[in-house]
Chains A and B, each alone.
Chain A
Amino acid sequence: MQTDNEQLSALIDNEVVDKPLVDELIIDKMQQTKFARYHLIGDVMRDEVAEPLIDIDISEKVMAAIKAQAPSAEVTKLDTAVNKMPSAKRTNIVSLMHRFGQYAIAASVAGVVVVTTLMTSPSVVENNDTGLEVLSTVPLGGAVTPVSLQANNSKSKQALKEHNERLEALLKDHQLQLQLQP
């Protein structure tokens, strides 16, 4: 017993590495109390104690609070493998990707609207007196469709208006969905 206590005293002073003693200390309440008293002696000698002394057994309250807060307070085992990352981190990444995915979709829709508006904007077509080049495109399907002052605007204006309204409705719907999501 005396040898054990002498080992404990040396362990406190970082003069010994004794794994079995630490194992025992972690589970043995009596030894823990002695460990605390040995430290208290040093703290009093160095005048490092609050006055009055706090409850000597604060460790039990701390451990109870930690257990009560589990699993959020649980210290996660360190692991470098990505596939063994703690589930909380994985959840964060999924949530991050989900959020960025939403922004990407929103940006794509906005891009489509801008490009479509530029391509088919009547103001560009109608104000082409200055000789500016009219924007044209080659559809994926095949034939080139010229866009110029000669083109019949009355029918295309109506179609354009409907097209824009449809796009705006889609965009509004998408924005509404984004707002509703947490």
Chain B
Amino acid sequence: MSERDLDFQLIQRIQNGEQQAFTLLVRKYQNRVANILTRYLRNNGDLADVTQEVFIKVYKSLPSFRGESAFYTWLYRITVNTAKNYLTSQGRRPPSADVDVMEADSYDGSEALREADDPESVLRSQEIKHVILQTIEQLPAELKSAITLRELEGMSYEEIANIEDCPIGTVRSRIFRARDAIDKQLKPLLEN
């Protein structure tokens, strides 16, 4: 982890007693943690509670986090262990094989939950996803390319600047404008 890494900055602050900095880590990773948990939990009603439990465990374990691995790798391990412990406490057997942290991004684990889901929240989720993806589709080509290379390919601004043959400042501006355009559509949906 480098000093430029936001996770690194936040963890340092938390380790120095700045408890509120943890809010940002929760806000950043809550969706990804919930997505990992869907592979293990059968009841969607437990999802928010177990996600909360994961973050409480993470907070308590942060003093022992040395930054030798990426924060997300560490968080992933805690999430899987919490899910397994939860299943054991419920008298259920955890899955025999884990989904690897590298495969986690492409794994669609929501299938198991769909039957038990509240139709209204499923509809709302689908709408949120639809709005985001549709807005991306409608973006000008240079904005769409910049945000796609950043979010899907995980490229740095410098790498994108090389590919797009433009200054880093332009990449930075394009990515922001893309996010801002999507956010303008997303915000009213989430506030309802």
Contact of A75 among B15, B23, B37, B117 (CB under 8 A): B15
Instruction: Indicate if A145 sits at the interface (CB-CB under 8 A).
Output: no
Contact of A52 among B60, B124, B148, B180 (CB under 8 A): B124
CB-based A-B contact count at 8 angstroms: 196
**A50 pairs with B110, CB closer than 8 A:** yes
Taking the nearest CB of chain B, how far is it from the CB of A94, in angstroms? 21
Residues of B98-152 contacting chain A, CB below 8 A: 104-106, 108-110, 113-114, 117-118, 121-122, 124-126, 128-129, 132-133, 136, 147-148, 150-152
Contact across chains for A14 and B6 when beta carbons are under 8 A apart = yes
Cβ of B164 under 8 Å from chain A: no
Partner of B108 from the list A6, A47, A55, A58 (CB cut-off 8 Å) is: A47
User: Residue A25 at the B interface, CB < 8 A?
Assistant: yes
Q: Knowing A12-B6, A66-B22, say if A48 contacts B32 (CB, 8 Å).
A: yes
Is B86's beta carbon under 8 Å from chain A? no
Given A9-B172, A51-B122, A63-B26: A17 and B3 interface contact (C-beta under 8 Å): yes
The contact of A46 among B2, B105, B187, by CB within 8 Å, is B105
Main DSSP-derived SS at the A contact region? helix
With both beta carbons as reference points, the residue of chain A lying nearest to B57 in the complex is identified as A73
In angstroms, Cα B110 to Cα A54, docked, is 12
Task: Indicate which residue in B6, B10, B16, B56 contacts A66 across the interface (CB closer than 8 Å).
Answer: B56
**Residue contacts A-B, CB under 8 angstroms, 20 given:** A9-B180, A13-B150, A15-B156, A17-B3, A19-B9, A25-B24, A35-B24, A37-B187, A40-B31, A41-B186, A49-B35, A50-B37, A50-B113, A53-B31, A54-B47, A55-B48, A58-B30, A73-B59, A75-B59, A77-B16
